[in-house]
């Protein structure tokens, strides 16, 4: 029986490389997968899952108005899918999460969604909130704080070397704009 997974972690925890690895493992056995990513993330081009390690994969970009269930059902009817992988899942909308649950429940295809849990102000993203509610299995992908040896649980946004604690929830960026940090270093970061 298929399950709905939410694998979350702070920035730099290896979420994207995990998607690439999982896709490779399925495809090595000639089992088709479909990879999706938010159309909002354009750091390396729209529709690209890209890891800091240099590996990347093409993906289907998802916009707010897209219907996951209908897209996946149509693909599955043409070529059986063994798994659906979703990167940057924090940017999804509530209806997307419900549609992914429908894929698991009605099409019996496992779905693995990867993303951040909380934003730089430590509020849940809409997609993450509903993944926490609808996923069958929730797993943290761990990484360490940029400034100390503790586990990173938060994302520190910074501008010109200074921490930023207010602003728009969504600002696309990588190491040039965000660092993974622990709770203590979030409010008292070291020198950036």
Q: Are 89 and 122 in contact (CB under 8 A)?
A: no
Active-site annotation, residues: 88
**Distance between CA atoms of residues 38 and 90, nearest Å:** 9
H or E segment to which residue 49 belongs: strand 48-50
Q: Kindly report the number of other CB atoms within 10 A of residue 141's CB atom.
A: 14
* CA angle at 112 for the pair 146 and 177, rounded to the nearest 5°: 30
CA separation for the pair 24, 2 (Å, rounded): 19
């Amino acid at each position: 029986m298929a399950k709905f997974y939410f694998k979350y972690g702070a920035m730099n925890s290896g979420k994207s490389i995990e998607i690439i690895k999982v896709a490779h493992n399925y495809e090595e056995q000639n089992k088709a997968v479909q990879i999706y990513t938010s159309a909002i993330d354009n750091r390396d081009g729209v529709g690209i899952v890209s890891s800091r390690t240099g590996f990347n994969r093409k993906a289907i970009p998802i916009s707010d108005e897209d219907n996951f269930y209908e897209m996946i059902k149509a693909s599955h009817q043409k070529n059986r899918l063994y798994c659906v992988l979703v990167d940057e899942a924090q940017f999804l909308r509530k209806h997307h999460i419900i549609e992914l649950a429908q894929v698991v429940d009605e099409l019996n295809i496992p779905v693995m969604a990867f993303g951040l849990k909380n934003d730089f102000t430590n509020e849940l993203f809409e997609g993450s909130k509903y993944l926490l509610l609808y996923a069958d299995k929730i797993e943290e992908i761990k990484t360490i704080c940029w400034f100390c040896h503790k586990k990173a649980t938060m994302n520190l946004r910074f501008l010109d070397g200074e921490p930023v604690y207010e602003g728009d929830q969504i600002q696309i960026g990588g190491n040039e704009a965000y660092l993974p940090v622990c709770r203590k270093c979030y409010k008292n970061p070291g020198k950036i």
